[in-house]
Amino acid sequence: MSAIIGLMMSINSKFTTLRQELLSHHPSAFLLAAQFILLIFYAVFDGREGHRLLISAFGLVVLLLVLWVVTSSARVQWMAWIIAVPAILFSLLAAIIDHPVLIIIASILEALLYFYTTGTLIAYMLEDTTVTTDELFAVGATFTLLAWGFAHAYYVSLMWDPGSIINTSAPGRAPTFLELLFLSFTNLSATGLGDIMPVSAPSRVMAMLEQFCGVGYVAMVVSRLIGLMSTMHKRQRE
């Protein structure tokens, strides 16, 4: 019995240590995990009755994690708060009231917050010549932040001009946010466009900018980290 209690105490101690380690040093890991969970929420609940409030609620959790990440890595703290606080407030109001003007304002602010956090994470990954565990998580988190930022930008374009982005597999129906997120990920990863097509000039310019950002991110940030990791492994072997 005492052995079982000792084992449980040991497991609990290790779990507590791991949790503190993650909370102290790996905020990007939490953000990346939360965004993947949000994708699962979209896959399970999209199109179901009452799904909007559930997804919006978890989306607010993601925004809070974004705020945590950006205040952990940004040099200019006040800029992060100026963008994040209105973004969270308007996102909450848009989830409750569901008014087009509130949705547009919330999407603009969320896009700005995601892009600002992307910039701070890229600066964080490029500021030294070592590669930490949190920086590896930040690679994935930054990519998803870019995808979400452009998805919100597409959503603003669609709300402003309903015919700016079309769903070729369902003519006459406006694309959902999940479909715009799908467009964003396919653009950013340079896998090509699917059935969600930008047709207006502003939306096509955004698509081109996103493709440029995706290629540039892999070429400049990811390849640099891979090179640094290779150099670190060589030094360890020597």
Element (H, E) at 197: strand 196-198
Look at residue 15 in the predicted model and tell me its pLDDT: 46
What's the mean pLDDT in 48-76? 67
Query: What are residue 135's phi and psi, to 5 degrees?
Result: -65, -35
The pLDDT of residue 40 is above 60: yes
Concatenating the DSSP letter of every residue in 47-68 gives TSTTHHHHHHHHHHHHHHHHHH
Q: Which of 59-73, 134-148, 177-191, 220-234 has the lowest mean pLDDT?
A: 59-73
Q: Encoding tokens for residue 215?
A: 């290629």
Residue 17 has a pLDDT of: 60
Q: Is the pLDDT of residue 149 over 80?
A: yes
Exposed, middle or buried: residue 187 (CB in 10 Å: 0-12, 13-18, 19+)?
buried
Q: Is the pTM of this model over 0.95?
A: no
Residue range 132-160: average pLDDT? 89
Cα 40 to Cα 11, 90, 117: the distances in Å are: 29, 24, 23
Give Cα separations from 81 to 46, 58, 89, 122, 222 (angstroms): 31, 20, 12, 19, 28
Q: How confident is the model at residue 3 (pLDDT cuts 50, 70, 90)?
A: low
Compute the average pLDDT of residues 43-59: 67
**Domain layout of the chain by residue ranges:** 27-237
Comparing CA positions, the residue from 177, 197, 175, 176 lying closest to residue 186 is 197
Q: Which fold has domain 27-237?
A: Helix Hairpins (1.10.287)
Averaged over 183-197, what is the pLDDT? 83
